[in-house]
C-alpha cells in the first residue's frame, strides 16, 4: 500500500466521524509492518471533550486485530490541512511505531507532507521510564 492509498483509508474513516459538538471530523489510517491497515475516526459524546481521537480509534482497531508495529500513519481533517496528531495521540502512537515510521499530513486531496514520526515526538516516554 502506498501513501495515497493510506490517505484514502483515512479519508473514508473521516467520513464516518461522529463530531456533532466540534463539527471537526478527523480520520486516521495506520499501516503496520506486515501491511495491515487499520483506520479510525474521531468519536465525540455529550461529555465533550471526553470522546476519542481518530488515531486512538485506529490504534484500538489495530490492537483488536492482533497488534503490530506501525510503519506509516496518515491523518486528515475536513477543516484543517496538514493536521498533526494531538499530544496524547503522539504518545499513544509512540508506543507502537517503528523507529523509521512515517507520518503523512494530508488535506482533502491527498498527502501534502511526509515527516518522520520521530521528528514530531522525539522524546516520548515508555516502559523503560517506569523501570
Q: What number is the average pLDDT over the span 8-15? A: 98
pLDDT of residue 130: 45
pLDDT at position 129 over 80:
no
pLDDT digits (tens, 9 = 90+) for 17-74: 999 999 999 999 999 999 999 999 999 999 877 899 999 999 999 999 999 999 999 9
Bigger pLDDT: 114 vs 48: 114
Residue scoring higher pLDDT (127 or 87): 87
**Which amino acids are annotated catalytic?**
55
Q: Tell me the sheet residues that pair with 40.
A: 28
Amino acid at each position: 500500500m502506498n501513501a495515497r492509498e493510506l490517505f484514502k483509508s483515512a479519508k473514508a474513516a473521516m467520513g464516518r466521524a461522529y463530531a456533532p459538538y466540534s463539527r471537526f471530523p478527523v480520520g486516521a489510517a495506520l499501516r503496520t509492518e506486515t501491511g495491515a491497515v487499520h483506520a479510525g475516526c474521531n468519536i465525540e459524546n455529550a461529555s465533550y471533550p471526553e470522546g476519542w481521537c481518530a488515531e486512538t480509534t485506529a490504534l484500538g482497531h489495530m490492537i483488536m486485530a492482533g497488534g503490530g508495529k506501525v510503519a506509516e500513519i496518515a491523518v486528515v481533517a475536513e477543516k484543517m490541512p496538514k493536521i498533526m496528531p494531538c499530544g496524547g495521540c503522539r504518545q499513544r502512537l509512540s508506543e507502537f511505531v517503528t523507529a523509521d515510521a512515517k507520518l503523512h499530513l494530508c488535506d482533502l486531496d491527498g498527502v501534502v507532507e511526509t515527516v518522520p514520526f520521530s521528528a514530531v515526538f522525539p522524546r516520548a516516554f515508555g516502559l523503560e521510564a517506569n523501570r
